Amino acid sequence: MTFPYSRTKSGQQPCIIGIGESEYKRRGGHKDTSELTLLLQAIRTAANDAGIDARQLDGYASFGYERHEPVLVQTALAAEELNFSNIVWGGAGGGCCASVMLAALAVSSGMSQYAVAYRSLCQGQYERYGQFRPRPMYGQYLAPFGLMAPAQMTALTFRRHMERYGTSSDTLAEIAITIRQNAQKNPRAVMYGKPLDREQYFDARMIADPFRLYDCCLETDGACAIIITTMEKAEKLGKPAIPILASAQASGPRWSLGPMGTHNMPVDDYSTVNSRHVAKALYEQSGLTPADIDVAQIYDAFTGLIPMAIEDYGLCGRGESPRFIESGALRFDGKMPINTAGGLLSEAYLHGLNLVIEGVRQMRGTSTNQIESAKTCLVTSGGGGGHKSALILGRG
């Protein structure tokens, strides 16, 4: 699903004008603050950043099993109107960028004046996502085969990538260490002040071969919010506006729930993250090519998702990711710097919405790990599930 923003009326192009987040803490770290309170903190921070009163919000979008319905959030904010509300079906992290797309559709069409995309996630107060639990529709089919947790399910697809293209644990180590190094410049990151080296990486326990401990994302508590409006309204506010150059949501044939469910994907697509359809839509919509992307925030619930993702999005050729990554291309000073705030592996796991926030900071020029020449930022959502979504952001 795509939306041709270029066809919108003058001034109606959607843009991001506000970002907000709670403090990120390890799972259980917010035991004295409710998930709803953290969400309201994030939304009010985003509204203040946008230069509006949170009570002016009239559009709400979320994804990934969000517990707080828009009518509840509206009431808690004392917002006067609710003119749009929606949530991306299923998909967990795969629906992250799609929630921003929903908000963008709402403001571009005039249904909403100011829309917020949000996600709150306190694993310490509710369930642990990395732990086995009966999953509706598909858990009963996977558990008898020993697939009890997302790491095990996703490891199968990456193992095939290793067999086909010679990807190794050295590739994964480069990713984990690079992203952790980025987090050392970000005081908001849960892993700030905790660098990682190769010896630590390889000494860590195996979680689901080939994924070791540091190949798996954090389990954290917190909330994020992003406010979207039109360029016309942003100009009146006098606030920096980050244009959404493209947004897309898609899935390939027979993917269904992918490795998180059926493992019934076509053989040729098995060692991918099901994002080639999304990538095609993004580039067609924006008029850009992979060569035009300056920095990327790639969904990193597991390190193994990144080699497959950068191939799907054309940032390197298919099967070329091991050599590309091990050349240092993903580092801060490399050809394609990624996850500059620490990503889901080292900043926080908010089902990917913190990746969008870092994308906005890069385009504003305010990242703690700023790529000075960057004019475009790719943000991707999802890795192990079925449908995926993504954004391309531009400089304000």
Q: Which residues form the catalytic set?
A: 299, 349
- d(CA 351, CA 115) in angstroms, rounded, equals 19
**Do 206 and 105 touch, CB atoms closer than 8 A?**
no
Query: Using omega within 30 degrees of 0 as the cis cutoff, is the peptide bond preceding 144 cis?
Result: no
Q: Residue 4's Cα: distance from chain center in Å?
A: 22
- Whether 248 and 284 have beta carbons less than 8 Å apart is answered as no
Q: How far apart are CA 69 and CA 59, in angstroms?
A: 12
Cite the DSSP H helix spans in 166-211. Answer: 169-183, 198-203
Euclidean distance between CA atoms 291 and 197, whole angstroms: 31
Closest CA to 151 of 130, 127, 170: 130
Residues linked to residue 26 through DSSP beta bridges, in sequence order: 220
Cβ(252)–Cβ(269) under 8 Å?
yes
d(CA 343, CA 376): 18
Token pair belonging to 309: 């993702």
What's the one-letter identity of residue 89? W
d(CA 364, CA 84): 27
Contact between 167 and 156 (Cβ < 8 Å): no
3-class secondary-structure state, position 201: helix
- CA dist 1 and 275 (Å) reads 12
- Report the alpha-carbon distance of residue 239 to residue 27 in Å, rounded: 34
**What are the backbone angles phi and psi of residue 40, rounded to the nearest 5°?**
-65, -35
Q: Which residues contact 199 (CB under 8 A, 6 or more apart)?
A: none
Outline where DSSP puts E strands in the chain.
14-21, 25-26, 59-62, 84-87, 115-122, 206-208, 211-212, 220-230, 242-250, 295-297, 376-381, 388-394
